[in-house]
Amino acid sequence: MIAGIGVDLVDLARFERALSRTPVLRDRLFAESERNLPLRSLAGRFAAKEAVIKALGDSTGVRWHDMVIAADEHGSPGVQLGGGAAVLEEARSIRSWHLSITHDSGVAVAMVVAET
């Protein structure tokens, strides 16, 4: 059963300006394993984290590092939650996540579906 759906869009140029203007933003938003990825991948991961929050239905107690977007052995993106995000995941009885990320025409888009 679907517990939540989330979608988010990130403008790549705007995201690049934000990271250039505020270099510590990269460390605040991304886990160490995510930080050295290309800009479009970072934008996609940021969109995915925003989409996860929307699918959870709440962001209370959630920190950016509680959500890690990582590729599996086939290169497909997945959601790994810890901390406050994992608490909300458990409270909503979410057992699996489906994530799609795309980059095109200067934007990155992510969509997630949370299932019980």
pLDDT tens string, the chain, 116 residues long: the values are: 999 999 999 999 999 999 999 999 999 999 999 999 999 999 999 999 999 999 999 999 999 999 999 999 999 999 999 999 999 999 999 999 999 999 999 999 999 999 99
Of 14, 20, 45, the closest CA to residue 31 belongs to 45
Predicted confidence at residue 62, as pLDDT, reads 97
On whether the CB atoms of residues 99 and 48 are closer than 8 A, the answer is yes
- The torsion angle over the Cα atoms of residues 94, 86, 4 and 111, rounded to 10 degrees, is -120
Give the Å distances, CA to CA, from 73 to 11, 83, 111: 28, 25, 20
Predicted confidence at residue 51, as pLDDT, reads 98
Please tell me the number of Cα atoms within 13 Å of 40 on its side-chain side: 8
* Neighbouring residues of 39: CB distance < 8 A, sequence distance ≥ 6: 12, 15, 16, 19
| Cα-Cα end-to-end distance for the chain | 5
Q: Tell me the Cα Rg of the chain.
A: 14
Q: Which domains does the chain have, with CATH numbers?
A: 2-115 (3.90.470.20)
